[in-house]
Amino acid sequence: MKDAFRYNGVMKKIRSVLNKTELAGGVLFPLFTLFLILRDDPLTTNLSWVGNGLDYRLLLVIWAIVGALVFRAMIRALAEALGVSLQRREDLTFLLMIASMLVPYLPESFPFLAQLHILVSNLAFLALNLLILRVFYAGQRRRWQLGRWGIEMTAGILIICALLYIRFLSVNSLLEMFYTVAMAWLLILARRKCGPAPQDKRPDSSQ
């Protein structure tokens, strides 16, 4: 019982600091990712293997859908704060994120589908980063320093991902976890630098 009360107290404190989008993207989704990658060795396997090779496929698809929705919400919140207009076609980025996990990754049984999975996953990763860079680049018109900071931080995250890839010669769960957490918090911090979100503003008590 004490642990339950303590957990509720911690969650209340977190909710008082983070809005719903930040809570989902900065805390809950990374925890979901951590749960999945710990199903196996995060240094030698990745989420594709965990989902398809260890029979967590349904959880992997749910992870992809949740991740796409969470990142869409965070990117759109940042774009709105920076005065950047996003078009409907840019939602294709998030559809690619989901599609990449719908295609099975079983190289020994379905080699063609495994290669297709890798292709779609790479396209989704590229599209997501280009979209984030586009938001920061366009945001420089309104907040030049913030836009430049966002571009530099995005580049730094990608450089670290590249170094991790070179170190382990594969896209492993450690790299996936780092990217998920680092990029989520970059979007959250950048949004916060723009000022309070509309839903965070408290109504005037005199009204």
Cα distances (Å, whole numbers) of residue 80 to 89, 91, 125, 194: 17, 15, 22, 10
pLDDT digits (tens, 9 = 90+) for 76-126: 999 999 999 998 888 999 999 999 999 999 998 899 999 999 999 999 999
Question: CA angle, corner 149, sides to 143 and 154, nearest 5?
Answer: 125
Q: Are 26 and 191 in contact (CB under 8 A)?
A: no
Say what the pTM is.
0.85
pLDDT band at 186 (very low <50, low <70, confident <90, very high): very high
Residue 27 has pLDDT above 70, yes or no: yes
pLDDT band at 41 (very low <50, low <70, confident <90, very high): very high
Cα distances (Å, whole numbers) of residue 154 to 46, 132, 200: 22, 8, 26
pLDDT digits (tens, 9 = 90+) for 154-179: 999 999 999 999 999 999 999 999 99
Helix 111-139 vs helix 92-102: crossing angle, to nearest 10: 160
pLDDT band at 15 (very low <50, low <70, confident <90, very high): low
pLDDT of residue 54: 86
Within 8 A by CB and 6+ apart from 129, the residues are 154, 158
